[in-house]
A and B are shown apart, each in its own frame.
Chain A
C-alpha cells in the first residue's frame, strides 16, 4: 500500500540520550520489505523551515540527513504544534495513506494553537502518531510559574488533562505532588493530536527515570533509598479509569462542568484557598452547567511563617486546623452522597484525594502549633537546661528567630511509621495521625496502584525549623554597563525540574508506573 510518512523531530537533549536515530535506523532496516512503497520525509522542530527533506523513497538519504541534523541537540522551548502544521502541509497532497510522526520528549507543553493543528491534520486526512515522554498528573508547574519567558504567541500549559483539575499548593507541602507524580499519559496537547486523528501516543522512559526515590524535595526518615514501593506496578485498568479527557479543551470544560464530583472539588478547593489551607485557587470558573478557564489566583496567606511570634502563630494554626477539619468533613460527606451517574472516576478520585490532603493539612497545622507552643520557645529560653549527651541544644539560646521554615518528611512509607517518631503536638496529634493513617490506607486500597495513590505518597508531614536573619551582602552586577547586546540563547531555556523519576533535567518527564 502506498504511504507517506513525515517524521518531525524535536531535537532535545533527552532525545539524543535516548538514541532515537539508532532506533529509527534499525526500525527502517527491520521493516525494509513493508516500506518499499512508503515515502519518508523528515522535519526538525525549531528550524526555519520545518521540513528538511520532502518525502522520498530513498530511505537511506533520510537516515543520513537525520544523522546529520540530529548530531547536536539544542536546549530551549520550541513550538512543536507549529512544526506539526508545517509538516502536515508538506504531505497533505500526497497520495495514499498519510501519517505524521512527531517525536518530542520535552515541548508538548508549549502550546500555540492545538485546535488549529488538529484542524490542519484532519483537513489533510493525516494521522498523527506521537513519540513522547510521560507528563505529570495535572501538572501545576506552569500555573505557579506563569511569568516564565516563552516564545511569542505561545503559552506553557502541560499536564495530562486539558486543565489543572487536581488541587495543588496545600499548606505546608514544599512542592505540589502534582508536579512529582507520573500521570501515565502524555501532555494533553500531544494526546489530543493523536486522539483527534485516530493516531496513537507512545511513551518513552529511560531506565534511570524508573528508579524509585522516596522524596525529591524533602527527606525520608525510614529508608536509605532502598524502598520498594508496594504498589510500584500500576494497574493499567485503574490508570485507564483515571484518564483525563482528551476532547478539545472547550468540550472538556463543558463536560467537566456537568460532573458533580468536579464541581464539588472546585467548590471546596476555592473555599480552602480562601481559608488559607491551599495557596492556589482553581484556575476554573464554574457556571450553571459548564466551566470556563480562569486565572489561577493565589490563596489566602495565613502568614504563619514570617514572624518569630510563636504564640500568635500557634493560635492561627489551631484556628486553621479547625477549618481544615470542617472542610474535610463537608467534602467527605458530599463525596459519600455523590450520585452514581454523571460522575467521572477521575473527579471522584480527586475529591477523595482532597479529603485525605485536608486531613494531612490539619495534621501539619497541629504539628506546627505544637512546634510553636512547646518546642521553639523552649529552644530559645535561657532557663532551659542543657540536654543529656549525645543530645545538644539545637540552636544557640541567645539567637532570636525571625521566621519559620519547613521541609517535608515523605509519606512514601505511609503514616504508620510516624507513630514512633517524636513529633510536636502531643496526644491530639497522635489521634489525628491515626485518623490520617486510616484515611491513607483506605485511599491506597482503592487507588493504590494508580497515579492518585502515587500522588498521595508524594506529600509529606512537615518538619519545622526556626530561621534567623541573614547577613546581607551587596548584590553582584550581572551585566556590564554597555550598549552591547547580551550574549546567550535567544530562545528561552527550559528550567531544570525534578519529577517522579531521577532522569535528566528535561521538563516533566517522569517515567513512573510500570
Chain B
C-alpha cells in the first residue's frame, strides 16, 4: 500500500516536471530565429494558458529578438494584471525601449486615484522617454503598445515623430493614432503636420494634406494636384480622407484610382468614399471594372454595384440570373432578394448543392432568403467539406428558423454543433429529427 503511494507520487512529480520542461522549451522557442518554430510555440502557449508561462517569459523576454519580445508581450496580456504587474514593473527598466513602453503602458491603467498619481506620472515619463529612444523601425509597434495612454507628454512625443524625413508608413500610422487619441484633429498636431508638407516624399505630403483637409478645405487643391501627378499616393491616404470635405478634383482622382486598383480590396474602400459624394462616377467606374481581366476584380465590382441602390437595374439582374457565370448569378439572386423578388432562389439552391469555390457565397445568399425551401439544403451543408461553408450554413440555419418560427424558442447551443469540430453527426441528426417533425 505504502509502496503504491510512493510510486503514485513519483509518477505525478515526473508528470509535473515534464510539463514544466515542455513549457520552458516552448517559451525558449519564442526567441527562435525559425519563424515556423516561433509561431507554433506561440500557438501552443496560447492554448496552454498555464500561469507558469508568466515567470518563464519574465526571465527571458529582454534577451529575445524583437519578434520574440512582441509575441511574449501578447502572451502576457492573456493573464490578469494582478498576475503580471511584477513582470511589467520589471520591464519598465528593460534594455529594449519597446519593452519599457509596453511595461509602463500596461501599468498606467492600474494607477488610479490620488495616491497613485505620482506613480502614474512616473510611468508616463517612462513611456515618453522610451518612445523617444525607440529605433526608427519599431516606432509604430511602440506607439500601438501604448494605445490607451492619452496623456499630453505621450501625445507630444507622438507629434515629435512627425518630421519631414519620416516615412509614409510611420506618418500614416501616427496620424491615425493621433486622430483616435485626440478624438479628431487638434491645433498642436496640425502644426506638427504642417512641417510634413516640406517633405520630399510625395506620400508623406499626401498624408499631411489628408489630415489638414479635415479642418481646412484649401488643402484639397494641392492634394488633388499631387494625386494627379503621382496617382500611387492615393493608396496611402484612402483611409484617411475626410469623405465630406473632398473637393471635385480629389473625387476625380479617386474615381481614376478606382479604375486601376492595385488589388480587389481597393475597390470597396474607394467605393465607400465615392458612394456618398459621386455615386454616378462610382457606377461608371464599377461598370468599367466588370470587364476587367481579373475575375476577382469583376466579382468585387459586381458585388459593389449590387449593393448600391439602383446600381443594377432589374433587366440587367434578370439577364445575369439566366447567364452562365455562377458568381454573377448568385449576386443577381441576392440582389433581387433584397428587392423582394425571389426569382433567384432556385439558382442559389442549385449553387449551394453543387460543390465548388462559390459554395460559401451561395450558402450565404441562401440563408438570407429565410425560406423553408432553404432548410433541407442548409442542413446538408452543415456537413460540407469546407469549414467556411459549414459556418455560414450554421448561422444561416439559425436565422432562417428564427424567422420562420417566430413563436418557437430555440436553444441552438443545446445541439452541440460546432462547424470547427470533426464529429458533427449527432448534432445534425438531432436537427434533422426536429425538422422532420416541424415541417
Contact = CB atoms under 8 A, between A and B. Distances in A.
B400 to A, nearest CB: 10
Contacts of A394: 407-409
B409 A421 contact: no
Interface stretch (A77-85, A383-391, A480-488): A383-391
A388 B338 contact: no
B338 A422 contact: no
A337 to B, nearest CB: 33
Contact of A389 (B276, B406, B411): B411
Interface in A198-231: 207, 221-224, 226-228, 230
B310 to A, nearest CB: 8
Interface in A402-420: 409, 413-414, 417, 420
B415 A389 contact: yes
Give the dominant DSSP class at B's interface.
Answer: helix
A424 interface: yes
Give the dominant DSSP class at A's interface.
Answer: loop
Nearest to A463: B406
Contacts of B410: 390-392
A223 B309 contact: no
A223 B368 contact: yes
Contact of A391 (B307, B339, B409): B409
A388 B438 CA distance: 9
Interface in B308-325: 309-310
A409 B406 contact: yes
Nearest to A409: B406
Interface stretch (B30-38, B201-209, B379-387, B428-436): B428-436
A221 B400 CA distance: 9
Contacts of B411: 389-392
B12 to A, nearest CB: 40
B370 interface: yes
A207 B404 contact: no
A388 B339 contact: no
B434 A388 contact: yes
Interface string B337-363: 011100000000000000000000000
A420 B371 contact: yes
Among B276, B310, B406, max chain A CB count under 10 A is at B406
B414 interface: yes
A420 B433 CA distance: 20
A170 to B, nearest CB: 20
A417 B309 contact: no
B403 interface: yes
Contacts of A389: 411, 414-415, 430, 434
B52 to A, nearest CB: 40
Given A389-B430, A422-B404, A417 B370 contact: yes
Contacts of A221: 370, 403-404, 406
Given A226-B338, A393-B409, A388 B433 contact: yes
A234 interface: no
A421 B276 contact: no
Contacts of B431: 390
A380 interface: no
B367 to A, nearest CB: 10
Nearest to A210: B309
A228 B339 contact: yes
Interface in B231-260: none
A420 B368 contact: no
Given A388-B434, A388-B437, A392-B411, A421 B404 contact: yes
Contact of B338 (A223, A390, A392, A409): A223
A421 B407 CA distance: 10
Contact of B403 (A227, A228, A233, A421): A421
B437 A422 contact: no
A223 B338 CA distance: 8
A391 B409 CA distance: 6
A390 B426 CA distance: 12
B372 interface: yes
A221 B372 CA distance: 13
Nearest to B415: A390
A375 B405 CA distance: 13
19 contacts: A221-B406, A223-B338, A223-B368, A224-B368, A224-B399, A226-B307, A227-B340, A228-B335, A230-B340, A375-B407, A388-B430, A389-B411, A389-B414, A390-B410, A390-B411, A390-B431, A394-B407, A423-B406, A463-B406
Given A417-B340, A420-B370, A420-B404, 16 more contacts: A221-B403, A221-B404, A224-B368, A224-B399, A228-B339, A233-B310, A390-B411, A390-B430, A390-B431, A391-B434, A391-B438, A393-B409, A422-B404, A423-B406, A424-B407, A463-B407
